[in-house]
Amino acid sequence: MTDQHTKADPTTVFPMPDRSAQDRIDHPGLTSDLVTAPDHGEDSYRGSGRLEGRLALITGGDSGIGRAVALAFAREGADVVISHLEAEQEDADATVQLIESAGRKGFSVPGDIRDEEQCRSLVDKAVEDLGGLDILVNNAAFQMAQMGGIAAITSEQFDRVLKTNLYAMFWLSKKAVEVLQPGSAIINTTSIQASNPSPELLDYAITKAGIVAFTKGLAADQAARGIRVNAVAPGPIWTPLIPATMPADKYESFGDEVPLARPGQPAELAPAYVFLASNESSYITGETIAVTGGTPFN
C-alpha cells in the first residue's frame, strides 16, 4: 500500500487478498484466521489533528472496519473505547495497542450488545474511561449468508441480526444523546446491501436499509441540539466477517463484481468516518457516504 497522499491507481492501490487459499472460519472470526490480513492503515494512515482531544466509542472496534476507524481516530488525536464480543479479545487487544501507539488512551469493553442494559452500561463505561463522549460509531453488525434465501433464515437468526444491527444502534444512540454535547457526532455503518440487497443476506439487508432511515430521522431529531448524525455505506470489504459468514464459492470471488473489480480494505473506509466526525463536515447531517468500489448507492 502506498502512502495515503500519493497518487495511485484505485484498481491496484491495494493488493488482492488471497481468497482461494482462505478456509471458512468460525464466527465471529479473528484477524489471525485470515490468510491475507486486512489493511487497517497501520503503515499508511497519517493523522493531522482533525480530532484532537475528542472522545470516541466504536462498537465492533476489534477488527475490520472498526479497527481501521479506531486507528485513524487515534492518529487524528482522539481517545477511543471499543466494544467487542468476548471471543474477539485477541483482536481487541491488538486494536488497543494501535490506539496507544498513536499516543492516545485506548480501552476495550467485552459484551454482547443485543442486551439493552449492556448498551446502556457501555456508554456509561466509555464516559467513565474517557471523561466524556463526543463521537459514537455504531459499527458492530451480524450477518450469516443463507443460500436458500428466506426459507433458510430461522427466527433465531432473524432475531440475532435485528438485535445486533438495529436494536443495539437504537439503544446506544438513545443513551448517548443524554451525554453528547453540541458539536458531537453519531456515525452509523450501513451497507451497499441497503440499496442492492442479496437474497442470501435478506435479513441483513433489511437492517442496513433501516439504518439509513434511522440516520435520517435521528439527524432531524438532534439537529437543533447541534449533534450531527450520518452514515457510511461500505461495499465488499475484506474482513474476518466474510469467510466467517459466507460459503467458499461466494467469498472466493468476493468483490469481483464492483466496477473497481476488487474487494476494498478497511483502511479505505476510515477517512470517511474521520470526515464525518470532524468539523470539516459541519454542514452535513442525515447523509450517507457510499464507499462501494463504484457500485451505485441509491
Active centre residues (catalytic): 204
> What angle in degrees, to the nearest 10, is found between the helix axes of 202-222 and 168-176?
20
In sequence order, the 6+-apart residues with CB closer than 8 A to the CB of 189 are 60, 65, 137, 138, 139, 141, 211, 231, 232, 234
C-alpha dist (Å) from residue 83 to 5, 52, 88, 236:
30, 21, 10, 23
Nearest CA to 114 among 61, 64, 178, 159? Answer: 159
All three cell numbers of 182 = 453540541
Distance (Å, rounded) from C-alpha 148 to C-alpha 150? Answer: 7
C-alpha dist (Å) from residue 10 to 44, 263, 279, 291:
15, 11, 27, 12
Q: Scan for cell 443476506, then name that residue.
A: 201
**What's the number of CA atoms in the CB half-sphere (13 Å) around residue 187?**
32
Residue type, position 110, single letter: P
Which helix (H) or strand (E) is 229 found in, with range?
strand 228-234
